[in-house]
Amino acid sequence: MEFIDPSLLAYCEAHSSEEDALLKKITRETQAKVLMPRMISGHLQGKMLELFVKMLNPKTVLEIGTYTGYSGICMARGLSKDGKLITLDINDELETMVRGFFEESGLSGQIDYRLGNALELIPELTGPFDLVFIDADKKNYANYYDLVIDKVSTGGIILADNVLWSGKILVDEGQKIDKDTQAILDFNTMIQQDPRVENALLPIRDGVMMARKI
């Protein structure tokens, strides 16, 4: 998932605001207790998300894919006092851990953590959303986008993680493509061709697509 030399990544992290004790704890416990710990946002991306929120000053942020709460806490830290984060996840096995981290962050009052299928939960939300972060099952990226785009405020931002998909998006002619890779390829093309947004694909971590609603 990392596309730069590990020593360069370490330099970037060393010259980014330090990860605090809680975020380090979330990383340790995710690595020790949860399957596929590489899914965690991590230091560099987490700080980027926090700064994005501080720059945008959104009233409502929607996160699709809570996982163990790292990215959610980072974004909640960027909120103003009247801001709110709604975060959705389907994995109820992580609920106790995640709610514990949210409580420990001191931000649980601004975090609306909902469990269930996001395809069913999103239509129940009224919006508007000033920032949306998509980081869930890849096969439904396009579906999540379709469900949220009309609920995003003008000038609002949609961020989608893993859009470089460990480099698998670079496909040779005739190469067999797995379903998740094809879903990411289709999603990236859809965003590129959507006249409702202006976009940039950022080579951060595993790739972040940034789309601003016009």
Residue 39 is assigned to a structural domain of this protein: yes
Residue 204 is assigned to a structural domain of this protein: yes
- Residue-wise burial string across 128-155, b where 16 or more C-beta atoms lie within 10 A, e elsewhere: bbbbbbbbbebebbbebbebbbebbeee
Place of tokens 């972040």: 208
* CA distances, 168 to each of 58, 181, 185 (Å): 33, 7, 9
Q: What letter does residue 164 receive in the DSSP assignment?
A: S
Residue 68 is assigned to a structural domain of this protein: yes
Residue 38 is assigned to a structural domain of this protein: yes
Burial of 10 (0-12, 13-18, 19+ CB in 10 A): exposed
How high is the mean pLDDT of the chain? 96
Count CA atoms closer than 13 A to 40's CA, side-chain side.
Answer: 26
Are the CB atoms for 29 and 37 separated by under 8 Å? Answer: no
Give the chain's residues under pLDDT 50: none
Residue 95 is assigned to a structural domain of this protein: yes
Q: Which domain holds residue 191?
A: 6-213
pLDDT at 190: 98
Residue 171 is assigned to a structural domain of this protein: yes
- pTM surpassing 0.75? yes
Number of domains in the chain: 1
Q: How many CB atoms lie within 10 A of CB 4?
A: 13
pLDDT at 1: 56
Residue 1 is assigned to a structural domain of this protein: no
Residue 189 is assigned to a structural domain of this protein: yes
21: domain CATH number is: 3.40.50.150
